[in-house]
Amino acid sequence: MAPFALPLRVYIEDTDAGGIVYYVNYLKFMERARTEFMRTLGYDKPAFLAGDRLLVVHSANTRYLRAARLDDGLQVTAQVSRLARSYVVFRQCVYRGDELLCEAEIKVACVRQHDMRPMPLPEDVHAALAAKT
């Protein structure tokens, strides 16, 4: 299944003094892509789930391969690579045209809001994500 792709433009606020995208902004771009991917599944506020549950980033394993620069047009992808009872792992990439600039594996966990303890994903969320694997 083809990954979800979000087009983005690099603005001055995304760059350092040399016009190169600051490394942490790739993670922000990926967050936007995951959020928009979840919106396509019908979740308008995907960080907040029913039953006092939140989706939070547990870990990020990121590789930076090439630099994006001011005014570049980018494509940021999000694809479910693993799905478990209480978490989902996304494979995410940032491209400039066909050139891979950055790739990451982002683990997103479901936790109880008031004490941040792991919780199972709601059944509807799990089913929607399973349909995209």
**Catalytic annotation, residues:** 16
CA atoms within 13 A on the CB side of 24: 2
At 47, give phi and psi (nearest 5°).
-75, -25
CA atoms within 13 A on the CB side of 70: 7
Q: Is 114 exposed, middle or buried (0-12, 13-18, 19+ CB in 10 A)?
A: exposed
| Separation between Cα atoms, residue 64 and residue 35, nearest integer Å | 22
